[in-house]
Amino acid sequence: MDISELKQKANLLDPVLRIGKNGMNDSIYQEIDKLLRKRKLIKIKLLNNSPVEDVDELIITVVEKTNSVLVSKVGNVFTIYRERTPRGEPRS
């Protein structure tokens, strides 16, 4: 699936995860990983009370830690995608 198709699908999505005053921690990364396994395409919103100062740096970290691809970023909302791996195969 190419990026333009993913962007079209992402436009219809509501954020499934909101990052607030507690910021990012290991449990948030685990939740993102779990959501990607279930849905493949997810939208994440960074709330105004979040302590994260650099949204772009956060996105790079999320993409690297979850082995996903950035589909779009608009303000404090970003969408990532990860292809499902067949059962039993480790993710690279």
Q: What is the DSSP letter of 48?
A: T
- Domain housing 17: 3-81
Query: Domain containing 50 — which CATH number?
Result: 3.30.110.60
pTM: 0.87
The model's confidence at residue 92, banded by pLDDT at 50, 70 and 90, is low
Q: Does residue 90 lie within any of the structural domains?
A: no
Q: Determine what percent of the chain falls in helix, strand and coil, rounding each to the nearest 5.
A: 40, 20, 40
Q: Does residue 59 lie within any of the structural domains?
A: yes
Number of domains into which the chain is organized = 1
Q: Does residue 15 lie within any of the structural domains?
A: yes
Q: Does residue 41 lie within any of the structural domains?
A: yes
pLDDT tens-digit readout, 26-81: 999 999 999 999 999 999 999 999 988 899 999 999 999 999 999 999 999 999 99
CA distances from 59 to 40, 49, 86 (A): 16, 17, 26
